[in-house]
Structure 1
């Protein structure tokens, strides 16, 4: 009876969550399905023979290739099935994990932060009902995605893409999503705000990816400390090992058992990690809109700056292997890096790594500008604007903070990659060159900020669509060559127009054009924000 009382209202809350996410959940599921199935189809068309597939495998037998994709054992017999597991399990696992983290935080910590959960708990609702409903929602989404993905891959009729491998591949992705849902459920009990829970959970995801990458390059021991590593150790379409998924199931059960007791040891709306008491009087910076915006986001920005530094350092340590790798495989990678020209292979690898890092840096930059929209939804913007603060100054403050954040993110990424890259290459010039290579991507990130500002100004309910620019950049940069996308499709991504330093020559023209586009979008957003209603 006591257990039933603690879960009272779970079904009603679950239906309410489904109603709230009736657009977001199908968008996530269909996007992931499209990327995986389209990539599988393109692999079947581009690599029809064993010779072509093994030539592709030869380009992956190096630290950089393994770090970006997966373990080397997939490369021994590089069938289409092995290829999709090797190249897509890790990257798709990140997308599934992010989906799960955002859904859990949205329906737990975010609901408490806005005050709605206190109203729900005041009715006939069990204390564990909301957490249970959120976990059931995310678990159901991951299982549904896995079933659709397994059926979609199986019915394509590709010889090496067996039904067992398809279900194992899909189950491995679902396992990653469910594990990170449980991680977010636990971390959500610690943090007082949704942004802290999201940032900390995302940090664990980045650490898991880095552990997997370092482990796959080394003796694989570290890979077994990562949920993403467990998914790849299933060896889907190769050996089809189901046992690594037991680790994910065990960790999920353990985390859920931990999360429930933690939730009753705190007040609704509070976190177990209590914030500092703070100063008795506010600092002068809090009297300005940009000072307040920074105060609301400083923890997230600091964590992401450190993450970008570590991410850059992890990639930079692989650059030193580039020349040796090129000697071992000859010119096989020239087709993958057509813009190489006369640059060294190490320079091209550095440019490719920096592009991937720029995609990652777009995430906190968009979070920064979209924070204004979340403040508006919470009803706090109307209070600010009731005084002498103008709308242009308010949105402009968030624009400036996001623009400065993009500079900080890319500087830290370039610094990290330069520090380890110069050491691995035994060449001090890489430090300054890679810092400059990182800063080179700033105008492209500003375009993302400008697009978000334009949506906030004119279509505030569609502001979340600005995340499409991150997804599209990933498809264009990471999968563009694999899918052989047309040039005009690739050019729709702002990152495509940025010269990949240090391999390419620096050019002012594309950077100035990207800056002009960003300014035009930001101005459009400011104009719209001045004219539309701001709900209180």
Structure 2
């Protein structure tokens, strides 16, 4: 066994060098997101509004979404922060770890890099071992930065012990799912499959945790996500779930090592499903191929957007009392006597969810670039398929998916609202569709920016995510922190009318649509001229 780990240390340094930018950005963004929210809650929620808020969480829908509620009798800022933020941060950490592990294991095998490393005097398990050590380094760094950053905010009831426990807990959860990704990297024959299996495993565990939190404490304790929530951060600060989760991580990692030790290079234990001898008529077209590549992602994101809409819709039954006792929400949703509180609350919800819905449409738009980088697009273009036509397929799918996800949000809100509101007709499906679809021009501008980068600066396509981060900060954080209006106008969402208080200015929406069309057209022009793999 000793020889299996030869030169792991050098590979750790090599992987850390490759990850110095990507992982650093992940750590900074996740830590800032966690840290910035804390003082916002402390400054805008007093004891009365916090108690009103916690009452809206006491329903199965919100418990299934965010987990059990701790500290109800004395709902401090720390308890509120932990209840509302913990699982969301863990989700982002899971994404970071899954991509990190798969990128340096199954991903490197697909690109032939692992074969080059194995031709050197490195151990059979050295690459996987180095990847897991790197995951430890990244998660420890994230835990320290987040924990110390939260403590430095000096928010009431968010002390150093609770803040460090928050950081350690999200780091431990990240390591567990890094180990899960390592297992699926051995089982699957493709990096795409390993990522998909890892996220499905997370979804299953999330579902088990939701059921356990509603009906069975034992089931929640068995589930890693439910277990780590029993830390009761900023309430009781239990440390005992962390070592248990780390022991589970060691066990899952050992399974990954065992599988890697008996697996042939570029093979997996879950065989690829044999395809048809001949492609279907639909798959023979460039559009059909593009849709097939995006199909699973689109379905998954539709479910996510519908579920988020339903989660917010489930609290509308008690929204009048909650908002009426919260100065914070009264400020950001601009309560007036002309419109109901439910409609004004939905204005805020549609703004937030539309921003989240920007993520999958950008992913769809950038899918062509990932196919190009992986060398698969050359096979398509070697046929009688023009660049313009193939790019147009992804552009059309991106624009169509933006409509699909906005409709999913409206349907989710409506489905949940009609079952909890005393007067369901107050929020008709038609009104909800209008309130969500009005954001389409802003989403289209983001798609246009992605297409422009693909055509003009293909190596800088990551810049669209930087702009999205600014947009999210200006629209979401700015809404709570009261940032200057001019800053919000630097993003397309700042020009969208806030129904029902604002009237729809079709001139503004048309201008945004024209800007999106221009960005897209310029992207097409440069894409036709540039070299492939540029």
Shift of 1:4: 1.8
2:298 aligned residue: 301
2:171 aligned residue: 174
Matches within 5 A, 1:22-61: 22-41=20-39, 46=43, 53-61=46-54
Report SS of the residue matched to 1:284.
coil
Shift of 1:208: 5.8
Q: State the distance in 2 between where 1:342 and 1:147 align.
A: 48
2:231 aligned residue: 234
Report SS of the residue matched to 2:272.
coil
Query: Is the 1:208–1:225 Cα contact (8 Å) retained in structure 2?
Result: no
Query: Is the 2:305–2:405 Cα contact (8 Å) retained in structure 1?
Result: yes
What is the aligned counterpart of 2:14 among 13, 16, 32? 16
1:164 aligns with 2:161: yes
1:434 aligned residue: 432
Shift of 1:143: 0.2
Query: Is the 2:50–2:76 Cα contact (8 Å) retained in structure 1?
Result: no
1:145 aligned residue: 142
Shift of 1:171: 0.8
Root-mean-square deviation (Å): 3.5
Matches within 5 A, 1:81-480: 81-82=78-79, 84-155=81-152, 160-205=157-202, 224=221, 227=224, 229-263=226-260, 267-323=264-320, 325=322, 329=325, 333-338=329-334, 342-425=338-421, 427=424, 430-480=428-478
Report SS of the residue matched to 1:285.
coil
Shift of 1:140: 0.8
Q: State the distance in 1 between where 2:162 and 2:11 align.
A: 35
Query: Is the 1:382–1:535 Cα contact (8 Å) retained in structure 2?
Result: no
> How many residue pairs align between the two structures?
528
Q: State the distance in 2 between where 1:492 and 1:225 align.
A: 47
TM-score by length of 1: 0.85
| Worse-superposed segment, 35-44 or 452-461 | 35-44
Report SS of the residue matched to 2:271.
coil
1:489 aligned residue: 487
TM-score by length of 2: 0.85
Shift of 1:220: 7.1
Distance 1:311 1:40, change over 3 A: closer
Q: State the distance in 1 between where 2:271 and 2:180 align.
A: 19
Query: Is the 2:52–2:326 Cα contact (8 Å) retained in structure 1?
Result: no
Shift of 1:73: 2.8
Q: State the distance in 2 between where 1:139 and 1:194 align.
A: 21
Report SS of the residue matched to 2:428.
helix
Distance 1:88 1:150, change over 3 A: same
Could you tell me which runs of 5 or more consecutive residues in structure 2 were left unpaired when the two chains were aligned: none
Distance 1:143 1:116, change over 3 A: same
Could you tell me which runs of 5 or more consecutive residues in structure 1 were left unpaired when the two chains were aligned: none
Q: Per-residue displacement from partner, 1:407-441 (whole Å, max 9, x unpaired)?
A: 22232333233223223336366334334444333
Q: State the distance in 2 between where 1:477 and 1:206 align.
A: 28
Q: State the distance in 2 between where 1:210 and 1:358 align.
A: 24
Q: Per-residue displacement from partner, 1:360-379 (whole Å, max 9, x unpaired)?
A: 33332222222211122122
Q: State the distance in 1 between where 2:135 and 2:387 align.
A: 37
| Worse-superposed segment, 262-271 or 296-305 | 262-271
Shift of 1:141: 0.5
| Worse-superposed segment, 318-327 or 275-284 | 318-327
Q: State the distance in 2 between where 1:228 and 1:488 align.
A: 41
Q: State the distance in 2 between where 1:497 and 1:455 align.
A: 23
Q: State the distance in 2 between where 1:512 and 1:482 align.
A: 28
Shift of 1:160: 4.0
Q: State the distance in 2 between where 1:213 and 1:486 align.
A: 39
